[in-house]
Structure formats: C-alpha cells, structure tokens
C-alpha cells in the first residue's frame, strides 16, 4: 500500500513538471518570458517575427505605358491589397518588403498560404503561383533572384539589440505568349507566411 502511494506521488510530480514545462514553452512563444532568480529578473526569450508592416508602391519593370502596379500592404504575416494592370507580354510589377526577427528565438517557415485572385484558375508550388498568363513569385533580395521563399527557410534570432532582417520581393508578371487587353484583377489575392520555432 505504501509502495503504491509512493508510485502515485512520483507520477503526480512528474506530470506537474511536464505541465509546467509546456506552459513555459507556450508563454515564451507568445510573449516575453520573465524569469526571476534570487531577486535578479531577466527577460529570457521573446518571439517577434514577421513582415515590417505598411504599404509599399509597386515598381513596373517594363516600359509598357499600360502597365500599372499600384501598391501592396503588409501586416505581420500577410501581403495583400494589390492592384495591377498587366496587358502585354513581359509586363511586370515588383513589390519590396522586409521580414524582421526582433526576438531572441530563431524562426522557420512552417507554411506558405496563397489566396488566389477571385474568379481565376491557378496552380501553386511553394511561393510560386501561376494563374493563366500571370506568374507570381516571392524572391529573396531582389526581383531577379532565383532564390525563392520556401517552407523550411530560417531566420536567425536578433543579434544584441539589432533585429535580423531579410528582404523579399513579390513579382507579378505577364508570362503569356500573346498580348491581352484584359486587366488582371488581383481582388482577394494574398500571401500569408507562418513561422514556427527553429
């Protein structure tokens, strides 16, 4: 009987420690975890990864006067609000964004969710989407880079007080073989990037 009580007590202690560990890990990813030991308080871990929020203007990379790029808006995890007119083969718009890790925990891309424009048929692969004659890509560094954003990509924790920064460029290009007089409506189109702990 005494042996059984000791076993139950041991099990309860182990379960309590595991629950406490899970709670601390969850709190660390959600906010700043403050640890106090012997009256010394230290911020142990912070989670702060995402796009620098705001609106950026698109840049047309062709000389076609019919190409119109408008602007795009970034929230912490989503690029949206894009309006473009791409009427001719080779018309392209580029939008430059910044991803920052201002936390002390490294991150890894766990999901890339692309919402296709309304009333279009599209195929997606990683951070690339093709909708008829229009191709969307999310590049690192610049619009000509062949390095595309992908699931599993990492971003290091900040160094001291300086955040780790990556530049990403969204390109929307008319890659068809014939010119079109149709304005390509980007209604409801968006990119969403989700990070997990690295």
- Whether 95 has a pLDDT exceeding 70, the answer reads yes
- Residue 37: band (very low, low, confident or very high) from pLDDT cuts 50, 70, 90: very low
Question: Which structure tokens are listed for 18?
Answer: 């595991």
What does the alpha-carbon distance between residue 33 and residue 83 come to, in Å, rounded to a whole number? 41
pLDDT digits (tens, 9 = 90+) for 108-126: 999 999 998 887 888 999 9
Question: Which structure tokens are listed for 11?
Answer: 């099990």
Question: Which structure tokens are listed for 167?
Answer: 């530049």
What per-residue confidence (pLDDT) applies to 187?
A: 74
What per-residue confidence (pLDDT) applies to 179?
A: 74
What per-residue confidence (pLDDT) applies to 90?
A: 85
What does the alpha-carbon distance between residue 132 and residue 52 come to, in Å, rounded to a whole number? 31
Q: What is the maximal distance between C-alpha atoms in the chain? A: 88
Assigned fold of 49-197: Immunoglobulin-like (2.60.40)
Domain with CATH 2.60.40 in the chain: 49-197
- Whether 33 has a pLDDT exceeding 60, the answer reads no
The DSSP call for residue 31 is: S
**Residue 7: count of CB within 10 angstroms of its CB:** 10
Helix and strand totals (H; E) in the chain = 1, 15
pLDDT digits (tens, 9 = 90+) for 60-82: 877 566 678 889 999 999 999 88
- Whether 9 has a pLDDT exceeding 70, the answer reads no
- Count of residues for the chain? 198
């Amino acid at each position: 009987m005494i042996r059984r009580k000791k076993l139950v007590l041991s099990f309860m202690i182990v379960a309590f420690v595991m629950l406490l560990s899970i709670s601390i890990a969850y709190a660390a990813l959600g906010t700043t975890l403050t640890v106090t030991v012997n009256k010394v308080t230290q911020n142990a871990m912070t989670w702060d990864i995402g796009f620098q929020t705001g609106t950026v203007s698109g840049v047309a990379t062709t000389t076609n006067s019919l190409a119109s790029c408008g602007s795009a808006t970034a929230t912490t995890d989503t690029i949206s609000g894009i309006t473009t007119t791409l009427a001719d083969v080779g018309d392209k718009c580029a939008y430059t964004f910044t991803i920052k890790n201002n936390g002390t925990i490294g991150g890894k891309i766990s999901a890339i969710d692309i919402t296709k424009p309304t009333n279009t048929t599209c195929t997606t692969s990683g951070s690339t989407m093709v909708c008829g004659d229009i191709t969307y890509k999310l590049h690192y560094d610049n619009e000509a880079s062949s390095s595309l954003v992908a699931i599993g990509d990492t971003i290091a924790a900040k160094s001291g007080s300086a955040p780790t920064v990556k530049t990403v460029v969204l390109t929307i290009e008319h890659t068809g073989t014939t010119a079109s007089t149709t304005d390509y409506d980007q209604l409801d189109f968006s990119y969403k990037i989700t990070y997990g702990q690295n």
